[in-house]
Amino acid sequence: MNFQFYVEKLGEMDKYKEFMKAEPTAVPCSGFFIIDYEGNDNQQHIDFYIKDKNKMISFKLESGELVPLEYMGNTVPPEIDFELDLDFDAVRELIEKRMVEEKAAKSMKKVIFSLQRKDKKHFLLGTVFFGVFGLVKTNVCVEEMKIINFEKMNLMDLIKVKKKD
């Protein structure tokens, strides 16, 4: 699956067309994707920042629903490029190769990606789940198709146990 598929799907939605007509200052600023390789919990959202209202709204592509988001920022989020060449299967291969190199695991069960733009480049910030307790936090530069950050963890690393005195 690639990003262009989701952009085209969005462009065909009547709610999107109505939204853009009502909010001409809206620009796409992020994406949220859940890819479930074992089940059917796939989700795709594309978020828009409405410049003249300092508000954000998210389009849930799987349902066509518009969801207002709480935006607490002081700056205008960078616009993501709808012409972005992003193939999620290629990203999966890249991460799986690194997982094998790092002896993390061989296959992904579910991945959560946030698509964002910073310094004129697009990044996929991801959490990859494998096994019962294993996960990898990763950051992929889309334009370079390169892993910038890769951190192997397990669920227990995230849970801090406080000893009783």
* Cβ–Cβ < 8 Å for 9, 61: yes
* Cβ–Cβ < 8 Å for 71, 54: yes
Q: How far is CA 126 from the centre of its chain?
A: 7
Q: For residues 34 and 82, what is the distance between their CA atoms, to the nearest angstrom?
A: 19
Measured from the Cβ of residue 75, the count of other Cβ atoms closer than 10 Å reads 5
Q: pLDDT > 70: what percent of the chain?
A: 92
Tokens of 149: 């950050």
Picking from 24, 28, 34, the residue whose alpha carbon sits closest to that of residue 110 is 34
Q: What is the SS3 string spanning the chain? A: CEHHHHHHHHHCCHHHHHHHHHCCCEEEEEEEEEEECCCCCCEEEEEEEEHHHCEEEEEECCCCEEEEECCCCCCCCCCCCCCCCCEHHHHHHHHHHHHHHCCCCCCCCEEEEEEEEECCEEEEEEEEEECCCEEEEEEEECCCCEEEEEEEEEHHHHCCCCCCC
- Could you read off the pLDDT of 114-145 as tens digits, one per residue? 999 999 999 999 999 887 678 889 999 999 99
Whether residue 19 is predicted with pLDDT greater than 90 in this model: the reply is yes
Higher pLDDT pick, 69 / 161: 69
Tokens of 116: 């964002």
- Could you read off the pLDDT of 71-88 as tens digits, one per residue? 777 788 999 999 999 999
